[in-house]
Amino acid sequence: MSLSEMRWAPRNFRKCLTVWLFTLCLFVIPINRAEAENERVMGVRVIHYPPQYFHNEKGLWEGLDVELARAMVERAGFKIAFLKRSWTGALKAMESGDLDIMMNLSKTDERSAYMRWIGPERYAKLRLVVHKDNVGWKIGSLDDLVKIAAAENSRFGIQKDVHYSIEFHQRLENDTSFSRYFETVINADQNPKKVSLKRILGFFEDQDSMRYKIKRDEEFANLRLHEYIIQEAPVYFGISKKGVTDDEFQRLETSFNELEKEGVLESIRQREW
């Protein structure tokens, strides 16, 4: 090789390398973009609330609502991340778009401002929970709750941001002779402890969850499900309007409808949790 050829060799090499890298990018970049689209992770709210959500022996999230959400999200082609959030914190995150999906939700006008709905996910009953000594109370209406509270000079517990029934909330907001007999907590774990110690008269909770806890958890040994049901209604998947695009929502909704038609979701609901 002559001196001039030696001088040009690095330039030719750099030119070839540049062309080679450019050609490689034409193939690699679209593949990476496609992979990124397929790796969309849906953030789904969970909390320790068996049988809807709980950790199994391997430390993984399991439960009725967990499996319903997993089936819908994965059929839609997304990955799923279970994020532990309080009820009130999760609602705020849904509004801001920091969380994508919540389960076990009642439809309300306020929530519909920042969520879209898929479902019904299932049907739920909110039942009165009382101390085992008081399971015989004759309660069949909201007025009966007031009569018991007045006679006992005590109150019932409710949780912030939980929807009990339209009539209940109308009276809570507009009738002080009604609202005086209810006290609000932020953390759902507070009410069972208060009832066990007879500091409040009772509270309302999902029937399936409370039945599970009374059967398996010593902390709930003094509690019983009363026959009074304050609300029996469908609950839905809430989908964040800010966190989930129109296309992603359509994929989730199509997934849910397919799984419902195939009987997959119903088989999950019918498991013994």
Asked whether residue 94 falls in the same domain as residue 68, the answer is: yes
Asked whether residue 86 falls in the same domain as residue 45, the answer is: yes
**Owning domain of residue 263:** 41-123+235-269
Q: What radius of gyration, in Å, describes the C-alpha atoms of the chain?
A: 27
Residue 22 lies in a domain: no
Give the Cα separation of 237 and 253 in Å (integer).
10
Flag the least confident range among 3-12, 52-61, 119-128, 177-186: 3-12
Asked whether residue 195 falls in the same domain as residue 255, the answer is: no
Residue 12 lies in a domain: no
Residues contacting residue 162 through CB under 8 Å, at least 6 positions apart: 87, 204
Asked whether residue 75 falls in the same domain as residue 200, the answer is: no
Residue 222 lies in a domain: yes
- pLDDT of 195 strictly over 50: yes
pLDDT, the chain, mean? 89
Asked whether residue 250 falls in the same domain as residue 217, the answer is: no
Residue 167 lies in a domain: yes
Handedness of CA 85, 126, 68, 115 (dihedral sign): negative
- pLDDT of 150 strictly over 90: yes
179: CATH: 3.40.190.10
Asked whether residue 264 falls in the same domain as residue 226, the answer is: no
Asked whether residue 228 falls in the same domain as residue 256, the answer is: no
pLDDT tens profile 161-191: 999 999 999 999 999 999 999 999 988 889 9
Q: Can you give the pTM of this predicted structure? A: 0.73
pLDDT tens profile 200-240: 999 999 999 999 999 999 999 999 999 999 999 999 999 99
Residue 4 lies in a domain: no
Asked whether residue 190 falls in the same domain as residue 223, the answer is: yes
pLDDT at residue number 20:
52
Asked whether residue 217 falls in the same domain as residue 172, the answer is: yes
Asked whether residue 131 falls in the same domain as residue 228, the answer is: yes
Residue 28 lies in a domain: no
How would residue 26 be classed by pLDDT, with cut points 50, 70 and 90? very low
State the total domains in the chain: 2
Residue 16 lies in a domain: no
Considering only residues 137 and 272, tell me which one the structure prediction assigns the higher pLDDT. 137
Mean pLDDT of 70-83: 98
Residue 103 lies in a domain: yes
Asked whether residue 195 falls in the same domain as residue 140, the answer is: yes
Flag the least confident range among 6-20, 56-70, 85-99: 6-20
Asked whether residue 145 falls in the same domain as residue 198, the answer is: yes
